[in-house]
Structure 1
Amino acid sequence: MDSRNFQMDAQWNIIYYPDKPTGFGVLIIGDERHFVDDSKSFWTQNEGKSAIIDQMKEKGYTLFSSNLYGRNWGSGSAVELAERLYHYVIRSEILNNKIHILAEGMGALVAVKLMEKMKGCIRSVILLNPILSLKHHLEQEKEHKFFYKKLIKELVTAHQMEQTLLESTIFSMDDQINLEYGYPVKIIHVLAGGKSYNQSKLYQKIISNPEINPTFMLPEKKQQLGNIIIRFFTSHETVL
């Protein structure tokens, strides 16, 4: 069996099976374009992402992912479902209980909350072009009225909060983002368009941390992503 799709809380989830499993699992948390439905997912439809899945399966990784309510923007319900999915996969598959996390864009908002909640269950984390601060992301989008209105609408739906309260809550958020929970963390940034890279002084401070060891990559080098991800994950598998 190549993959299996199933539902939890009316959300579709998918497990990708390798031919020769090593017992290590990877939770993939997608960006705002991500989806999982009854037969496919964004990561199987997108050529570049599909290549990464194939490379990781060849190395024996069991991969799993969820629709997570679509554009969830780090909502509590998305974090809770991701944690439930982890427990389901660990119970149903033969896997080491410490997983890797690979999160892209908006998915980093869920990943950072999981890092705090799931201590002892995470082996390492890769954040690909991450959005780490909802506050700074919203401040950036304020310059683009159409996108700001669209984003606010998505946030109201995701967080089930009235707009005025939502905006005041986000803009009063702490400027500190903690990525130091004892897990190895790597940020990979594909320098396309540059918008998400210029994520404020906060982001510059995070990537200047020697523990984070960011990788910056030109778009034409994207085919190297799979090897970089696999190399980082395998380097943190010596201790079971």
Structure 2
Amino acid sequence: MENRNFQMDTQWNIIHYPEKPTGFGILIIGDERHFVDENKCFWSQNEGKLAIIDELKKSGYTIFSSNLYGRNWGSDHAVELAQRLYQQVIRSEILNNKIHLLAEGMGALVAVRLMEKMKGQLRSVVLLNPILSLKNHIELEKEHKFFYKKLMRELTSAHMKDQVTLEKELKNMSVELNFDWSVPIKIINIMSSGKSYNQSKQMQLLLAKTDINPTYIVPEKKKQLGYMMKKFFNQYEKLL
């Protein structure tokens, strides 16, 4: 069996099985385009993402992911479901209970909160083109009225709040990063557009007071992502 799809709280989830499992698991939290349905998911449909999954499966990783209510923007519901998925997978599969976390874009908002809530259950974290601050991301999008309106519609839906309440909360939101610094973190940024350049500048400001040095790569090097992630994860598997 290559993969198994199942539902939790109306949301589809998927487990990708390696041919020769090593007992280590990776939870993938996707970006805006991410989805999981009854028989497939974005990461198995997208050529570049599938190459990463194939590389990680080849190394024996059991990989699991959830639809997480679509464009969740780090909502409480998404964080809670991700935790429940972890618990379900640990119960049903033969896996070490300390897992790796791989999050892309918007998915980093959930990942950062999981790092606080899942202390002792995470082995390492890879963030790909991450959005680390919702407040800063919205400030960037304000320059593009159409995208800002669309983003605010998604946010009010995801967080189940009206726009006035949400904007007030965002205004008071701290931009300080609340990472669990005991978990090893690798950030990879693909410099593919002006937007990714602006996001990387914003990220550098957020990380200024930390010891994290992001890795920057050009789009032509994307084929190396699976290998880079595998190499990073492998460093933190010496202690079970």
Q: Is 1:116 matched with 2:116?
A: yes
> Which secondary structure does the structure 2 equivalent of 1:138 belong to?
helix
- CA change 1:200–1:216 in 2 (3 A) is closer
- CA change 1:223–1:208 in 2 (3 A) is farther
Provide Cα deviations, 1:187-209, integer angstroms capped at 9, x if missing partner. 00000113244238762134456
Q: Is 1:193 matched with 2:193?
A: yes
Aligned-residue offset at 1:219: 0.5
CA contact (8 A) 1:131 1:196 kept: no
Provide Cα deviations, 1:166-211, integer angstroms capped at 9, x if missing partner. 0111122002012243000010000011324423876213445663
Which runs of at least 4 in structure 1 moved beyond 6 Å after TM superposition? Answer: none
CA contact (8 A) 2:175 2:206 kept: no
Q: Structure 2 counterpart of 1:87, which letter?
A: Q
Question: Equivalent residue for 1:233?
Answer: 233
Q: In structure 1, what is the Cα distance between the partners aligned to 2:193 and 2:230? A: 26
Alignment of 1:29-108 (within 5 A): 29-108=29-108
Q: Structure 1 counterpart of 2:72, which letter?
A: N
Q: In structure 1, what is the Cα distance between the partners aligned to 2:34 and 2:107? A: 9
TM-score where L is the length of structure 2: 0.97
- CA change 1:72–1:42 in 2 (3 A) is same
Q: In structure 1, what is the Cα distance between the partners aligned to 2:201 and 2:58? A: 39
CA contact (8 A) 1:16 1:64 kept: yes
Q: Structure 2 counterpart of 1:67, which letter?
A: N
> Which secondary structure does the structure 1 equivalent of 2:198 belong to?
coil
Provide Cα deviations, 1:53-91, integer angstroms capped at 9, x if missing partner. 011000000000000000000000000000000000000
Q: In structure 2, what is the Cα distance between the partners aligned to 1:186 and 1:163? A: 34
| Same amino acid, percent of matched pairs | 66
CA contact (8 A) 1:207 1:214 kept: no
Q: What value does the CA root-mean-square deviation take over the aligned residues?
A: 1.3
CA contact (8 A) 2:98 2:121 kept: yes
Question: Equivalent residue for 1:137?
Answer: 137
For structure 1, which runs of at least 5 residues remain unmatched after alignment?
Answer: none
TM-score where L is the length of structure 1: 0.97
Q: In structure 2, what is the Cα distance between the partners aligned to 1:197 and 1:63? A: 30
Q: In structure 2, what is the Cα distance between the partners aligned to 1:143 and 1:205? A: 19
Q: In structure 1, what is the Cα distance between the partners aligned to 2:219 and 2:21? A: 31
Q: In structure 2, what is the Cα distance between the partners aligned to 1:180 and 1:82? A: 17
Q: In structure 2, what is the Cα distance between the partners aligned to 1:54 and 1:142? A: 38
Provide Cα deviations, 1:21-75, integer angstroms capped at 9, x if missing partner. 0000000000000000000000000000001101100000000000000000000
Question: Equivalent residue for 1:161?
Answer: 161
Q: Structure 1 counterpart of 2:230, which letter?
A: I
Alignment of 1:198-209 (within 5 A): 198-199=198-199, 203-208=203-208
Q: Structure 2 counterpart of 1:17, which letter?
A: Y
Question: Equivalent residue for 1:19?
Answer: 19
